[in-house]
Amino acid sequence: MNADLDMVESRGSTFPMAIAIATRVVLLVGGAWLGLALFRQIRPRVADGFWAFAIAILVPLLLVGGAWLAREGWRRWVDLGALRRFERGDVPKTGAWVAVAGVAQPHFEPIEAPLSLRPALACRYRVMDRPYREISENSKRASSARKLRLEGYHLIPTVIESSSGRARLLGFPELRNLEKSHLSSGTSGIEDTAVRGPAWPASVFHRGRIFSQPADRLAIDWHYGKVEEPGRTERFEWVLAPGAEVCAMGRWAQKGGLLPHWSRTTGIPLYAGSPTIVAESLRTEARIYLAMGAIFLTVALGLVAWFV
């Protein structure tokens, strides 16, 4: 499990990512078609058209939500199984989904997180306009919605040192599983160097590439319009700090290390804590997700059976 120092640049085919996006589009189109079909079936049987419309909308939402919850629960069971194999000392096979537990360390020197300036191996941040209300000249109240103004993704070559050796992170880790820092207002000067970020829906594709493509170094800062009032911003940051005890899961690379999976468009799963703590958390989350998914799907199918 010893990792060498060869660097891995971001690369790979966009075809798997296109499949993931196409799947979402198909689900949206299918949900819209199902809702319309249900409305046509339900409308003659329900006196109030509002309730027919509400049910026609609710059923596809419950089906999609239940499927998503079931998928998330299944993924946690898969991660839990990988962690158990690591604890047993199983030898990882190339391409297999495996877990590594240990201490995260840099190959070279850590970087500074852009917002908090803390030492970091990987960092993700978002700066958003804080919602507020103001009175305009004509005395009518206007509301400012929360808007994304800045976001960034930073990663340096990182290894996870365990009792069995070192494993490299060969993709961007899912930092949202770590503690989120809610910082004071401001931008810390990032706006001066950030480039214009991709507009929606292209931004979905670009973020998916960041999280699903092999890479061990990233430095991306995007802005979405000028921050007019830095004092009215919300800043959030997720940081993988040097020396943090973590458990990470990924596809095992031939030379040792964790590669991302194209279907996991949120990054390499990474959890803070020891294997015992992480295993218990995964087990609990899996049960909750699967139970909620079963409830959503049962209610949706029950409504369909009742009205159709």
Burial class (CB in 10 A: 0-12, 13-18, 19+), 158: buried
Query: pLDDT of the chain along its 308 residues, tens only?
Result: 544 444 454 455 555 556 666 666 676 777 677 767 776 777 766 666 777 777 788 888 898 899 999 999 999 999 999 999 999 999 889 999 999 999 999 988 999 998 889 999 999 999 988 765 555 555 455 555 678 889 999 999 999 998 888 999 999 999 878 888 887 777 677 888 889 988 887 888 888 888 888 999 999 999 988 777 777 788 899 999 999 999 999 999 988 899 998 888 889 999 999 999 999 999 999 999 999 999 999 998 888 877 76
| pLDDT value for 226 | 78
Per the CB < 8 A criterion, the answer to whether 164 and 14 are in contact is no
What whole-number distance in Å separates Cα of residue 55 and Cα of residue 51?
6
Coil, helix or strand for 164? Answer: coil
pLDDT at 58: 86
Determine the pLDDT at residue 106: 94
Contact 43, 209 (CB under 8 A): no
Domain residue ranges in the chain: 8-90+275-308, 91-273
Q: What is the pLDDT of residue 7?
A: 46
Q: Residue for token digits 């590594």?
A: 100
CA distance 149 to 223: 6
Other beta carbons less than 10 A from residue 38's beta carbon: 22
Q: How far apart are CA 152 and CA 303, in angstroms?
A: 43
